Structure 1
């Protein structure tokens, strides 16, 4: 997993061409003019989902992981905590191979993500997004899905 500010994103472009495309999309997009929805960057190999939601209490947020895709999550506006932990012996609660997600039982360490922060979560990284800091707040985020 990687956590950094978007100003430093060029440091990570060499990880893979697809991650570079995802970071380039984030850096070159005016998200104030893009509506919520899903946008193709490179077919099904790299695509972006623009989301807006209210954060929730930790107990209402699910620990999730993916096997086919890497997530690049970038906070356009607002702030939230995202729980992170490496995949280990956590118990799988729900798994959907077709939609590439699994929900897990387990604990994570919370990291504060605010406007301009991004994270790259690889298939071995479990993440728990949407956690409110002290109260519910509105977050606008782009999740770029990168086929691993």
Structure 2
């Protein structure tokens, strides 16, 4: 897992050509004006999902992981906490291989992700997004799905 500010994206764009395309979308798109929805970047190899939602109590958020895609989650507006942990010792609850997600039951440590910050979650990383920080608030975020 990686947590950083978008100004430091150059440290990570060399991880793969696809990750670089994800950062290019974040940098070259007016994300404050973009509508919620799915945006193709490189067909199914790299695409973006723009979301707007209210944060929730931690117990109302699911611990999830992916096997076919890496997530770059960039907070456009707002602040949220994200639970983070690895797959080690987590109880698998549900898997949808076609949609590339699995839900788990287990503990996670909370990190604060503010406007202008991003996370990168790899297949061994589990994450619990959308958790309220100090109070329930509106968040706008883009999730770049990067096929492995």
**TM-score of the alignment, normalized to the shorter chain, above 0.5:** yes
Q: Deviation above 2 Å: which 4+ runs of structure 1?
A: none
Q: How far is the alpha carbon of 1:32 from its aligned partner? A: 2.2
Q: How far is the alpha carbon of 1:24 from its aligned partner? A: 1.0
CA distance in 2, matches of 1:101, 1:88: 16
Instruction: Give structure 2 stretches of 5+ with no counterpart.
Output: none
Q: How far is the alpha carbon of 1:134 from its aligned partner? A: 2.3
TM-score, length of structure 1 as denominator length: 0.98
TM-score, length of structure 2 as denominator length: 0.98
Summarize deviations over 1:89-136 as a string: whole Å, max 9, x none: 211111100100000000001000000000000000000000001221
**Counterpart in the other structure of 2:130:** 130
CA distance in 2, matches of 1:86, 1:14: 23
Aligned CA RMSD, in angstroms, stands at 0.6
What count of residue pairs does the alignment treat as equivalent?
Answer: 148
Summarize deviations over 1:34-89 as a string: whole Å, max 9, x none: 11100000000000000000000011011000000000000000000001001112
**Counterpart in the other structure of 1:110:** 110
**Counterpart in the other structure of 2:16:** 16
**Counterpart in the other structure of 1:98:** 98
Summarize deviations over 1:4-24 as a string: whole Å, max 9, x none: 000000110110000010011
